[in-house]
Structure 1
Amino acid sequence: MPAMSWLDAEFVRDLFFKEKYTIDGAVAYLQVHYPEQNGISARNLRRFMKENGISIQQRLSTAELKDNVRTVTDEFAGVLGRKKMQAALRLRGIKAGQDRIRLAQAKVAPAYQERRRQGTERRLNPQSYRALHFGYNLHVDQNETLVKYGVVFVLAVDGKSSFIVHAAIMPRKNNIAIYELMYVPAVSKYGLWDQVIADGGREFYLVHHIQEYLNTLRIKDDGELSDRPPYRQVTSVQNNRVERLWQEVNEMVGYPLKAAYIALDNASIIDLANDVHKFTCSYIGCILAKFLMQRCMDIWNHHNIPKKGIPADFVDDRRNYAIPDGALPSTDAAVRMYLEVGQLTEETSFGVDPLAGQPEKQLERNNAFWLDMDVRLGGVQSISESVLHEYYGPLQQAFNRFIEMSMEMLTN
């Protein structure tokens, strides 16, 4: 079935060649302007472009390369070295070698380059690690850098390739949310991993339970059932495939958003004793974090890791076990199965939505809010990039406007 068949090819060409959108920018634009359409993603947009003969590959002059490096440097606030800059340019359809990129960075952003050089530390892990292929180990972990503001990150990373398989953003860490937002999408898209590896926290118990339930699907090429445990709990140090990625995620997502919220908190713009303020922080923070996390994933998955290669290049040769239709339990079914042997905490919001219990008004408010943000502030991408550059005015406006619209709809 053609990808995103409702789109007009000429309109998409104009987004890139007239409006100068990147892939990520075009996805954000389409998501905001066509909220009723499902399946708007970078992967599907690239499929659509391939099916319609739209290519944005470019070979640039030195001056043009400098301009693009300057643009990407501004977007990411200077945190990208030459390898990740190469990945960012590649995602924009631009080919350039690392030596050219390094020279361009030295010219257009020498201060950032020196800061990266001084801050670089080689973190060597003396423990041996063995993953035979993509699909052998799936490392999962959660991060609470922004837990105070109702934003929690959960990552799933393939052990062989270091490919970030999926990232979930949620208001609170929760077994049910982790299963629905992380495990189900990962397994549905790529297949079953031979083993899921997590630390000793309780938040992955539902994932462990279903991984055990699907144990009989782990049939190897020789017809034998895998003799490895379907999941394993280890210390954080042993879960290094995902643990080391938090430095990348925090640099590009967690720390900039945390600094923004701390600034608004210190200025008394937000009051965490107010449940409506807490909900607003969580709602907007999760949306911005999702956008920034997707960019972080794209950069990581397409950058070149020394002695390993590009993580995304491993995907086509994966050896995950196939999941027959209907074999992966729905969230409700998984919860019922687990409740036969244990207890789960219900998923809860962070703070209180003024429109709680009114799903139609919530949907109307959310859609109207983001359309308003698109007109006023340039939408999710513009607000996110303002945060990266430590300009918090747009975030403050978004925070106040969301509360204002909620109260207006509450009284109507």
Structure 2
Amino acid sequence: MPVLQWLNPDYVQGLFESGICSTVEEARNYICESYPQQKSFTSHTLLIFLNQNEISYKKPLSKEELEEQVRIATSEIGGVAGRKAMQGYLRSKNIHASQERISNAQKIVGQVYFENRRQDAQRQLNPRPYHATCFGYNLHFDQNEKLVEYGIVFVMAVDGKSAFITRASIMPRKNNITIYDQVFAASVVDFGLWDQTIQDCGREFFLSIFIQDYLKDFRVKPNTERSRPPFRQVTSCKNNRVERVWQEVNARVGFPIKFAFVEMEENNMLSRLDLTHMFATSIVGCSVARVLYQRFIDGWNNRSVPKKLIPAQYILSKGNFILPAGTLPTAAAAAELYRNCDGRLTDESQFGKDLLSASPEKQERRDAMFWEEINTTFGGIENIANYTTNNQYHLLQQAVIKFIEIGLFVASQ
């Protein structure tokens, strides 16, 4: 007798083909959460359904294959990531395995890392209950200045319901126009307008707040009234939805880069009083940070959360307000609107001092020579990132020194 007759076989097949689910257990949990009005069923019942409808699902990786994939991923994102973060990162690469199998693989390929995580299991918890009705209800912004003294600033936006990182950016100095263009506007282009944005009282978010308020009437759906303010400015402790993410970013992106630069200072290879040195740390450090930052985001957005969906899966039922074409101002248009309302904005500027700032031709030559060196001698910026996240700092340090040396060489020509 056919089972689960209400369930569409094509829908189930799509779960496996799209990579949303890789095991029968995952598919069962996903379907039960997606159809709460239907009676719950067991994994065995779903397996019978798969057999009856000739639906195939991916064969699990062997123990050896999974260990090799975990070994490669560890070289790319470091050993700070636990089984959940590792599962998310592997899932972003279309590699699927249970957390238990991943944990066992991590014990084998990175025993030292595993013990360090076990001894440091305390996690920052949300101090207050938080509620968001859907993806698109709240968008939380924040910036991180752990590396600001080296010309590296992190900014990100996080959806309140799912904790999905919608957009993130790295810049030499926090800047209203850059944050609007690369974080706020980019998030709205990808997903639509959020009902409310939440950020601290920093001036760097003023342009994004201004445009959120400027577009507030587009939040109102037909035959409804909207009384919620379009934005809220709160203290950091009340913006915990995004604040807690920084703990992970610092461990996997910020601190390894900072340790490399601090070690250079201690060995008199770098001086914060020399602005040309700081220009080099900003250029090279931002490049390495972008690689590690994106890897972190890929893993975070695809990780499994207990009793909830994978963050990326919430997008399927998002409640964002889709703006008509041409409604969202460009960065230049937004800046002009803000300035016309007596607002003041500063254009993005470099960090430190570029010896070649007066000669664009020499800047172009230096950059070409440097990146050629990075790709041929250092194995590419991704390779430098791999070493840095695994606490091997020599490649990053040598890259900074090489940038300084090439700049001095071109300046002397």
Which residue of structure 1 lines up, in the alignment, with residue 93 of structure 2? 92
Alignment match, 2:401: 400
| Aligned-partner Cα distance in 2 for 1:335–1:137 | 24
Amino acid at match of 1:208: I
Q: Which residue of 2 aligns with 1:351?
A: 352
Of 230-239 and 61-70, deviating more is: 61-70
Q: CA deviation at 1:360?
A: 4.9
Per-residue displacement from partner, 1:35-76 (whole Å, max 9, x unpaired)?
xxxxxxxxxxxxxxxxxxxxxx87421122222223323333
Shift of 1:188: 1.5
What are the Cα deviations for residues 244-274 of structure 1, in whole angstroms up to 9, with x where unaligned?
Answer: 0001110110111110110111111112211
Aligned residues with identical type, % of pairs? 47
- Counterpart position of 1:277: 277
Which residue does 2:315 correspond to in 1?
315
What residue number does 2:146 align with? 145
- 2:383 aligns with 382
Amino acid at match of 1:66: E
Verify the 8 A CA contact 1:191 1:321 in the aligned structure 2. Answer: yes
Offset from partner CA, 1:278-299 (integer Å, 9 cap, x none): 1111111111111110000001
Paired position in structure 2 for 1:366: 367
Residue 325 and residue 115 in structure 1: after superposition, are their counterparts in 2 closer, same or farther (change >3 A)?
A: same
SS in 2 for 1:189: helix
Structure 1 residues 378-387 or 126-135, which shifts more?
A: 126-135
Contact 2:195/2:219 (CA < 8 Å) preserved in 1? yes
CA deviation string 1:121-160 (max 9, x = no partner): 1433342211111111000000000011000000100001
- TM-score using structure 2 length: 0.81
**TM-score if structure 1 supplies the norm length?**
0.81
Q: 8 Å contact 1:276–1:352 — kept in the other structure?
A: yes
Match of 1:304 in 2: 304
How far the C-alpha of 1:345 sits from its partner, in A, is 3.0
Distance 1:94 1:333 in 2: 42
Whether contact under 8 Å (2:152, 2:282) holds in the other structure is: yes
Q: Distance in 1 between matches of 2:337 and 2:216?
A: 15
SS at match of 1:237: helix
Distance 1:316 1:359, change over 3 A: farther
| 2:82 aligned residue | 81
Q: CA shift at 1:333, angstroms?
A: 1.8
Q: How far apart are 1:344 and its partner, in Å?
A: 2.3
Contact 1:194 1:218 in 2 (8 A): yes
With over 3 angstroms needed to count, the CA separation of the structure-2 counterparts of 1:92 and 1:361, relative to structure 1, is same
Q: Residue 96 of structure 1 aligns to a residue in which SS? A: coil
- Cα distance change, pair 360–332 in 1 and its aligned pair in 2 (3 A): farther
Larger Rg: 2
Query: Which residue is equivalent to 2:36?
Result: none
Instruction: Identify the residue that residue 205 of structure 2 maps to in structure 1.
Output: 204
- SS of the counterpart of 2:238? coil
SS of 1:193 mapped into structure 2: coil
Aligned position for 1:66: 67
The answer as to whether partners of 1:58 and 1:93 remain within 8 angstroms in 2 is no
Look up the match of 1:46.
none
Query: How many Å separate the matches in 2 of 1:363 and 1:103?
Result: 49
**RMSD of aligned residue pairs (Cα, Å):** 1.9
Write the distance in 2 (CA, Å) between the matches of 1:356 and 1:225: 53
Q: Is the 8 A contact 1:216 1:225 kept in 2?
A: no
Unpaired stretches in structure 1, ≥5 consecutive residues: 1-56
Residue matched to 1:40: none
| Preserved CA contact (<8 Å) 1:171 1:349 | yes
Task: Report the more deviating stretch, 182-191 or 248-257.
Answer: 182-191
